[in-house]
Chain A
Amino acid sequence: MTESPRIDGLLRRIRGEIRRRRAEYYGLRGAFWGAIAAVGVLLAKHGIGSAAPWIAGALVVGGAAAGIAYGLARRVGRSDAARVADRAFSLEDRVATTLEWAERPDRTPLVDSLVADTIARVDALELKRVVRRVVPREGRLLAAPVVVCLLLAVAPPIPLPSGRLPDFLPSGEEEKEERATSSMLEESSRPIAKDQTKRSSFEERDFAQRAGGTGATTTGDLSAIFKDTSLASQRPDFNSFMKKGDERLRMLEQVDRLPDLQSDFTNNQYKMVFRKSKSLTSGLRPDQISPQKLRELLEEMERLGRKGGNNWSGDAMEGMEALEGGQPDRALDAMQRALDKMRAMDEAQRSGKNLRGGRESDRSGRGRDRARGDGAGPEDQDFGEGEGLMPGRGRSNTPKGEATQRLRSTPYDVGVEGESRQGRKEGYDTNLTGRGGAMASRLQYLGVIGQYRKQMEDAITREQVPRDFHDQIRSYFQSLDER
């Protein structure tokens, strides 16, 4: 004996009821999320236009419909329905057991009695709704997004920021502009090819030169990142500006690649010593000065003097001896003498470089003014901003000339620093050719020879010259003196 039509009808009815409840449940959930999406659409009503309310309504209805469809489409098992019937009508698992055992081959004799008993009980049932309604959490919250939707639908559109600056260019130019910007970004995002022939210090100087404002840049140069000139003449593009800013921020993280402007151009060793001495002695009597700090400063001065072969090293030594003898006032006097000599030498050097701040520079500036008034030639005029002297070749685009090749970059590179390099630094090319050959020399012969000799001694001390050449070089300079 199998199940009766009555049991089958009961199960069909319960399955239908479960489907309806599921449809309600998932329909409410779908409507809620559709309403949430509709709120977003209505917020963007300004951009979407008059279709926004219709889209919002479609989202709510569509969400509900999708939920209902999902609820209706989900399968309801007969055993599940049987268990629901057993619980709802207090049938004590009779229907579920009947369904399971009615068709089993190993059914026991009691199963027939069970089936008959179940049919009799199901026949006697008063059918009622057995699946209770479950309202999901989304259903309880559904009113909120719906109300918001209605308010937004009635309210005027909310203007939203466009995210672009006003368009100053015609459309044809805009396309061209975008292409240019993208290529510019590509260039800046490319890995920067490092010039192997340049020392890192000179790379830093390259950055500093751009403060002068010259527009010339080279491919692979980091100047493309630091310059605004490419953007300055073009229509402002907010997006590219942001991307550019990102590139700059990334560069700022690479602190080792940034030029140290202060140490390069405003501070030299002598200035640092001046500054230290000033901070040490400011407002204090000699007996109030820390002997330890004074000793350290004198040692540093002595070291600088010894290193550069300068004449204040003796004063610094005298100061240190006085300090050890318990005479800080004598030590301070010695330090002051050493500082004076140091300042004098620094000014002399600055005058030699035509840098501002040197006494010689002031004097020569005044002399130039006079000469200009006398109708002097263009060679006597100072270089323009951002330009420098290329010895023997006239003006250079860079204020300090071309970078020197790194010494000892190859095993055969044993030249003296400043001897054979290009550009202008502390050494001078004596092979004057071309335009520079017509220039009148502004340097004293003895001064130049003195500087060369000093550099020669430095190079020999730092063992930059092979030992076999030392005597030869010294004899060469001696022959110059004799001349």
Chain B
Amino acid sequence: MNRDARVEAFVAAFEALRVEVEKVIVGHREVITHVLTGLFAGGHVLLEGVPGLGKTLLIKTLSEGLELSFSRIQFTPDLMPADIIGTNIIVEDPDGRKHFQFQQGPIFAHILLADEINRATPKTQSALLEGMQEGAVTVGGASRPLPAPFFVLATQNPIEMEGTYPLPEAQLDRFLFKLRVRYPAIEELNAIIDRTTQSRAATVSRVVSGPAVMSFRELIREVPIASHVRDFASAIVMATHPQWEKAPEVARRFVRYGASPRGAQALVLGAKVRALAEGRYNVSVDDIKALAAPALRHRIILNFEGEAEGIDTDNLVARIMESTEAATAQSREPFLR
């Protein structure tokens, strides 16, 4: 297979997977695209939205479109880390001898749905940290690798905050993207009603295999990025830091902590997936702009003033991006420089 063929295969797989998901999920095209982007970029995705918008259904449908194992964990306050990772249990062999045997938890799957992740205690939430970052878990002093590709999709409800444990920043940073699932438009709602109230349910085909996903992940990293595009991404991430000398006024005023370097990685990786999914061999500034909000919105921690004024991080990121774009040479007339 030559290079172009690999790219064409990726584009085809990406498109096929989206089509399969869209057989079940109405609307949310951008969310679906970003979920797929996260999958091929090798990151994990957090979906946030009110109940009933199809977050869980979207992830289940995606798992059905992939030839990969799937686990679902419903996070509750009494969930323990061992319930996720697994534990050593005493088993008796046919000879009558007893010994410990590791019983894998649900984390040992290619696709893990952590439903309502903010309802579990931080201790349990933290059980996911090592697996999400390292692709392995340590039980009883032994490190056990997770299957590849390992893709965590978590959901959380932003309005029912009572009795919940908001994710700590360290864990939020492990998610490549945070996607907001918004309420569908009326046409989309009508389509949802039609699809879900009829007798015939849509069937989803498995269109992408696990090895193919891994191959595409390697291909993604080959996508070249120009220095000025990379600089633009770095400038955006740096501009979220109020301590930076060139930080825009909005960041200085409302932000307590800016995005980590993982944010810049997520931005560029996501931009590469987007470029390749569009059949392009290079990353453009528009790719960076398109991925800025999902990659940075959960990595920016507002200060008291920002929280008090109800600042939306999406708007904040957009304003930071505008000011960064204006500050860089991108928007200036080249002949006046």
Contacts and interface: CB of A to CB of B under 8 A. Distances in A.
B286 interface: yes
A97 B285 CA distance: 11
A345 interface: no
Contacts of A111: 224, 281
B282 A97 contact: yes
A107 B222 CA distance: 9
Interface residues of A, number: 32
A101 B227 CA distance: 10
A22 B335 contact: yes
Contacts of A110: 3, 7, 219, 222-224, 281
B334 A93 contact: no
B333 A134 contact: yes
Of B222, B330, B335, most buried by chain A (CB within 10 Å of CB) is: B335
B335 A108 contact: no
Interface string A149-189: 00000000000000000000000000000000000000000
A92 B223 CA distance: 14
Contact of B281 (A22, A71, A83, A117): A117
Contacts of B229: 93, 97
Contacts of A113: 3-4, 7, 281
Contacts of B7: 110, 113
A134 B283 CA distance: 30
Contact of A107 (B224, B227, B283, B333): B224
A259 to B, nearest CB: 65
A131 B228 CA distance: 20
Contact of B334 (A71, A83, A97, A100): A83
Contacts of B337: 80
B284 interface: yes
Interface string A91-128: 01110111011000001111111100100000000000
A332 interface: no
A84 B334 contact: yes
Contacts, number: 80
Contacts of B148: none
B222 A79 contact: no
A86 B7 CA distance: 22
Nearest to B225: A97
Contacts of B280: 92, 94, 117
B226 interface: yes
Given A110-B3, A110-B281, A114-B281, A96 B334 contact: no
A25 B335 CA distance: 9
A111 B222 CA distance: 8
A108 B222 contact: yes
Nearest to A92: B284
Contacts of B333: 134
Contacts of B283: 93, 97
A25 B224 contact: no
B159 interface: no
A110 B284 CA distance: 15
B281 to A, nearest CB: 4
A98 B285 CA distance: 15
Nearest to B227: A100
A85 to B, nearest CB: 10
A357 B229 CA distance: 102
B334 A109 contact: no
